[in-house]
Amino acid sequence: MITQWHDFFLTVGGGAAALAGLVFVAISINLDIVLCDPTHRNRAIGTLAGFTAAFLICAFALMADQGKRMVGVEWLVIAGTGAYIYVNGYVKAVKTGGSPEGLSLIRTVGGTVCYAAQIIGSILLILGYDIGLQMAAAAMVLFFVFTISGAWLLIVGAHKSANK
């Protein structure tokens, strides 16, 4: 069953690694600005964590001789950690008074729903329900909308901060 998903995990994992690298470069170029603003700093952490989580899930799924339950356990741990980082970053940015540009509750809820669907899907996979893999995979791909747009908002926000 998991072997049928080989191409999916290869494609998504490679894409996540490439995008994480691009975001890392963008952060490096604007490091002083990103570090000075809680919104930028936490968005950078959340964006890198999101791409890293997708890469790790795909890398573990591609390891040989793993059943769907083991992939479900790995997915659960990684998605749970990613969700914590994602939500915690928003809370920290709000509490510490970061720049309001791009600090959207709607975006945070949407991303959190995607993580929650990955967590529920991984639990279903652990319990032996194949639909859990489709659910978790779809949620991971949909989460790219939030991570890519978050990376864009980070770059735009850092640019605006630099030109103030």
Domain boundaries, the chain: 2-162
The confidence score (pLDDT) of residue 40 equals: 87
pTM exceeds cut of 0.85: yes
User: What are 39's two structure tokens?
Assistant: 């919104």
3-state secondary structure of 15: helix
Distance between CA atoms of residues 164 and 161, nearest Å: 5
Distance between CA atoms of residues 34 and 133, nearest Å: 36
User: What are 113's two structure tokens?
Assistant: 């729903």
3-state secondary structure of 110: helix
Given a cut of 90, is residue 30 above it in pLDDT? Answer: no
**80 contact partners, CB below 8 Å, separation of at least 6:** 119
The confidence score (pLDDT) of residue 102 equals: 63
Tokens 């639990």 belong to which residue? Answer: 123
Please state, rounded to an integer, the average pLDDT across all residues of the chain.
91
